[in-house]
Amino acid sequence: MLIQDPGITVALVRYVSMYHTEGNKVKQSNVIVTGLIINLTTAIVISLVLYILATPIAEVFLQQRELDNMLKISSLAIIGQSLINAANAIFIGYMKVKLQNITTIIYSIIKGVTQSALVLLGFGLGGAIAGQVAA
């Protein structure tokens, strides 16, 4: 997580809040766009690296070659999680904590229901990971 978000969401909260309070919509918009671009770019790069290195990671670190497909599927979740983290930071910066909480609750419910349904349908670990990625 530290590599994926080296303080970008914290900066989004701080500067969106500061420029919102000052009424400086141009700087506020620039901070949001820049933060989203950096967050998304970092997430895509990390996701690609994990996808490419899934087999060596599964073989060397996990010592189970068959988990490489699970790592590849999981790499896609990095991008989605990055966007959710950035959106939550922007909500908090706008002091819309209620909206951030609602988003978090809905996301958790969707993730839990999707993962549980896929596992119960017989997809096992792959279903749980796919549910994480889909949410």
pLDDT digits (tens, 9 = 90+) for 28-71: 999 999 999 999 999 999 999 999 999 998 899 888 888 888 88
Residue 33's pLDDT is what?
95
Judged against a pLDDT cut of 70, whether residue 118 lies above it is answered with: yes
User: Could you tell me the residue range of the domain that residue 81 belongs to?
Assistant: 8-97
Tokens of 13: 């909260």
Query: Residue holding tokens 């939550």?
Result: 88
Q: Does residue 132 belong to any structural domain of this protein?
A: no
| Domains: count for the chain | 1
pLDDT in tens, 91-101: 888 888 888 88
4 φ, ψ (degrees, to nearest 5) = -70, -35
14 vs 26: CA distance, rounded Å: 16
User: Shortest CA distance to 41 belongs to which of 89, 93, 6, 91?
Assistant: 6
Q: Does residue 31 belong to any structural domain of this protein?
A: yes
